[in-house]
Amino acid sequence: MLAAGVLLLAGCTLVGTEAANGTNNELLVIAHRGASAVEPEHTFRAYDQALEDGADYIEIDLRKTADNELIAMHDDTVDRTTDGKGLVENMTLMELKTLDAGEGQSVPSLEEILERYGDSVNYYIETRESDDGELIMEEDLLQLLERHRIPKRQVILQSFSEASVNALHDLNPALTLVQLLKKKEVEQLDADNLQDFQKKAVGVGIYAGMLDKSLVDLIQMNGLEVHAYYRGDEREWTEEMLRYNVDGIFSDDPAYLANIAEKQE
């Protein structure tokens, strides 16, 4: 059971997002797994490159190891992104550290990421349920952020799991949350369920290929931001997303996104 007493630096202010404040902030450039188009994803090389390229946030997918450490990895196995094989949940952090995540980089733990960057960057962190549908990382995540004194205004937390978003909101209602949506959920969006999302989240994350101008307008009119993500098709959709005036974009190549955005100004 999640303990409602876990807080994340409660004295700090909430992220100043466009939907939350009604201001005309610039597009949020979210480095998807770091600058993952040019460096191995979820490595310090990818994060460093993203920051050099001007990303506003570094996005971090979380997985939990066999010894209950939180690491940065998207897939449930190490097969695609390292020279190893096997399920993350069956490996210890020490075992994961023996793998090459590309260009001689190791798989970083969340602890290491927070130690390296501290409060000098903004974090956009994705939680997920276990394969059994259990919530396994929310408390640990907030405790790590608190221990490293990361201000809430520098953290956005997201999940496809509504249960995880709800749990994070229950743990600390002041957290900045984004609800990721799958196709069926997007197709069912209306003013009523957008208002329900707005009670706990500042925005929704939606695949770019499912967005059109009318949907973006509907979401924003109901007080939520639109953060668009891609499926390896960033260059196909980016100009369209900018025309729709989405509030944030998950980019594998922040330098490319910044260049396109500048041309459209």
The pLDDT tens digits for 24-68 are: 358 999 999 999 999 999 999 999 999 999 999 999 999 999 999
Specify whether the CB–CB gap between 197 and 224 falls below 8 A: yes
> DSSP state, 244?
T
Is 10 or 86 the better-scoring residue by pLDDT? Answer: 86
The pLDDT tens digits for 211-243 are: 999 999 999 999 999 999 999 999 999 999 999
The β-bridge partners of 124 are 59, 156
List the catalytic residue out of 32, 42, 148, 169: 32
In a domain, residue 100? The reply is no
| Measured distance CA(53)–CA(144) in Å, rounded | 27
Q: What is the pLDDT of residue 15?
A: 43
How confident is residue 265, by pLDDT bands cut at 50, 70 and 90? confident
The pLDDT tens digits for 65-107 are: 999 999 999 999 999 999 999 999 999 999 999 999 999 999 9
CATH number of residue 63's parent domain: 3.20.20.190
| Measured distance CA(139)–CA(143) in Å, rounded | 6
In a domain, residue 102? The reply is no
How confident is residue 264, by pLDDT bands cut at 50, 70 and 90? confident
| Measured distance CA(99)–CA(221) in Å, rounded | 47
- Told to judge if 148 belongs to the known catalytic residues of this protein, a careful annotator would answer no
The β-bridge partners of 177 are 157
Count of helix runs (H) and strand runs (E) in the chain: 11, 9
Please give the residue range of the domain that contains residue 173. 8-73+108-264
pTM reported for the whole predicted model? 0.92
Token pair, residue 24, equals: 């005309």
| Measured distance CA(216)–CA(247) in Å, rounded | 9
In a domain, residue 82? The reply is no
Q: How many domains does the chain have?
A: 1
Q: What is the pLDDT of residue 46?
A: 98
Q: What is the pLDDT of residue 3?
A: 43
In a domain, residue 53? The reply is yes
State whether residue 169 is helix, strand or coil.
helix
Query: DSSP letter string over 179-229?
Result: EE--HHHHHT--HHHHHHHHTT-SEEEEEGGG--HHHHHHHHHTT-EEEEE
Phi, psi (deg, nearest 5) at residue 215 = -70, -45
List the catalytic residue out of 74, 148, 169, 227: 74
In a domain, residue 17? The reply is yes
Residue 23 has pLDDT above 90, yes or no: no
The pLDDT tens digits for 158-214 are: 999 999 999 999 999 999 999 999 999 999 999 999 999 999 999 999 999 999 999
| Measured distance CA(109)–CA(73) in Å, rounded | 9
In a domain, residue 174? The reply is yes
- Told to judge if 74 belongs to the known catalytic residues of this protein, a careful annotator would answer yes
In a domain, residue 194? The reply is yes
Residue 153 has pLDDT above 60, yes or no: yes
In a domain, residue 149? The reply is yes
